[in-house]
Amino acid sequence: MTNRVTTTRRDTIARLAAALFVATACATTVLPSIAQAQPMVHIADGDVQGALDGTTSAFLGIPFAAPPVGALRWRPPQPVTPWAGTLDATTYSSPCAQLPALTGTPSVSEDCLYLNVWTRDLAPAKPRPVMIWIHGGSNISGSTRDGVPFPGYDGVHLYDGRILADERNVVVVTINYRLGVFGFFGHSDLAAEDGAYPHAGNQGLLDQRAAMQWVRDNIAQFGGDPSNVTIFGESAGSFDVCAHVASPLSRGLFHRAISESGGCSVGVRSASEASAAAAAISTAVGCDSAADELACLRDVPVAELLDSVASAAEGSSTDLAISVDGGFLPETPRALFDAGNYAKVPYLLGSNSDEGTLFAMGATPITTEEDYQAELFTRYGSDAAAIELLYPASAFGGSYQKAIVRVSGDSSLVCSTYDVAKRVADAKTKTYVYNFARVPPLAFITALDLGAFHGLEIAYVFGTITPPTATDAGLGTKMRAYWTSFAEKGKPKAAKAAGWPAFKSKSYKMLRLNADVSLLKDFRRAQCDLWTSLYESGNY
The strand pair at 509-513 and 431-436 is best described as parallel
Q: Checking phi first, is residue 80 left (phi over 0); if not, alpha (psi -120 to 50) or beta?
A: beta
Of the residues 234, 259, 454, 485, only one is catalytic, namely: 454
Superfamily in which the 10-74+98-365+411-527 domain is placed by CATH = Alpha/Beta hydrolase fold, catalytic domain (3.40.50.1820)
Q: What is the pLDDT of residue 317?
A: 59
In this predicted model, what pLDDT tens digit does every residue of 223-250 receive, in sequence order? Answer: 999 999 999 999 999 999 999 999 999 9
Task: Examine the residue annotation and report whether 355 is marked as an active-site residue of this protein.
Answer: yes
Verify whether residue 235 is a known catalytic residue. yes
- Of residues 53 and 257, the one with the higher pLDDT is 257
Counting residues of the chain whose pLDDT is more than 90, the rounded percentage is 84
Pairing of strands 518-521, 51-53: unpaired
Residue 533's pLDDT band (boundaries 50, 70, 90)?
A: very high
Catalytic-role residue among 355, 388, 457, 488: 355
- For range 109-135, the mean pLDDT: 97
Q: Which DSSP string corresponds to 319-351?
A: ----B--SSS-SS-HHHHHHTT-S----EEEEE
pLDDT of residue 310: 76
Q: Find the range with the poorest average confidence among 105-109, 295-299, 494-498.
A: 105-109
158 vs 188: CA distance, rounded Å: 37
Residue 404 binned pLDDT confidence (cut-offs 50, 70, 90)? very high
Segment 398-412 shows an average pLDDT of 97
The whole-model pTM stands at 0.93
pLDDT tens digits for 37-88? Answer: 699 999 999 999 999 988 999 999 999 999 999 999 999 999 999 999 999 9
> What pLDDT, on a 0 to 100 scale, did the predictor assign at position 35?
38
**Mean pLDDT for the chain overall:** 91
Instruction: Give the tens place of pLDDT for each residue, 343-366.
Output: 999 999 999 999 999 999 988 999
Condensed to tens digits (0 to 9), the pLDDT of residues 10-45 reads 344 333 433 333 322 233 334 443 335 699 999 999
**Going edge to edge, which strands form the sheet with 114-119?**
51-53, 56-63, 114-119, 171-175, 128-134, 224-234, 256-260, 347-352, 431-436, 509-513, 518-521
What pLDDT is recorded for position 320?
87
Q: For residue 493, with 0-12 CB atoms within 10 Å meaning exposed, 13-18 middle and 19 or more buried, which class applies?
A: middle
Catalytic residue among 57, 141, 235, 408: 235
